[in-house]
Amino acid sequence: MSWEYKGKKLEVVQGDIASQRDIDAVVNAANAQLETGGGVAGALHRAAGPELAEAGRKHAPINPGEAVITPAFQLPNSNVIHCLGPVYGQDTPEDELLKNCYEKTLYLGEKEKQKSIAFPAISTGAFGFPFEKALDLAVDTVFEVLPELEHVEFVRFVLFSSKEAEAYKKALEKKLG
């Protein structure tokens, strides 16, 4: 499902972040060492190959709310933007750190002239951030930052479950009608 917003395109899909063929930069819900792991990081590292962890080593460790960019290697994308979300109940202030993640990823995508960016629901898996609260922060931040950007034209939210995709669709419907 997709929407137009101030000349930009927003989309919500249910699927795998490692299979977004038409997207320039996919976002990794990374760990501080930019190594492989479970969830999103596991899927992206598996599909990209060992070069992704090797490329990450130059940037590691990163702090919560920080984002760095690497090539995407065997993934069908140009780049991976790795963002470390906050661990809920541990990295504070959680809301601000999660907002930073979306903001910094978008600005980095802009700097690197990426036309399209696909986000997973950062911090809502192993890091335990409550899904609905994370959804509101993600959507509000994208609505705030995206219209300011010149190069980034298209943001896709990729959710693993249909229930989560429905929640995102509802949130965007509510904002855009």
| Residue ranges that bind ligand AR6, judged by CB under 6 A | 16-18, 29, 31, 37-41, 43, 85, 120-127, 158, 160
What are 69's two structure tokens? 């960019």
**Which is closer to ligand AR6, CB of 10 or CB of 83?**
83
CB of 40 to ligand AR6, least distance (A): 4
Q: Give the type of residue at 117.
A: I
**Which is closer to ligand AR6, CB of 76 or CB of 147?**
76
**Which is closer to ligand AR6, CB of 115 or CB of 163?**
163
CB of 127 to ligand AR6, least distance (A): 3
Q: Which residue has the tokens 């929640």?
A: 167
CB of 152 to ligand AR6, least distance (A): 20
**Which is closer to ligand AR6, CB of 149 or CB of 166?**
166
Helix (H), strand (E) at residue 174 = helix 162-176
Adjacent-strand bridge partners of 71: 79
CB of 84 to ligand AR6, least distance (A): 8
**Which is closer to ligand AR6, CB of 38 or CB of 50?**
38
Note the Cα 106 to chain centre separation in Å: 9
CB of 26 to ligand AR6, least distance (A): 9
Q: Cα-flanking dihedrals φ and ψ of residue 93, to 5°?
A: -75, 125
What are 134's two structure tokens? 């994370």
**Which is closer to ligand AR6, CB of 10 or CB of 18?**
18
CB-based contacts of 40-49 (< 8 A; 24+ apart in sequence): 40/120, 40/125, 43/16, 43/17, 43/18, 44/17, 44/18, 44/75, 44/80, 46/18, 47/18, 47/19, 47/74, 47/75, 48/18, 48/72, 48/73, 48/74, 48/75, 48/80, 49/73, 49/74
CB of 150 to ligand AR6, least distance (A): 28
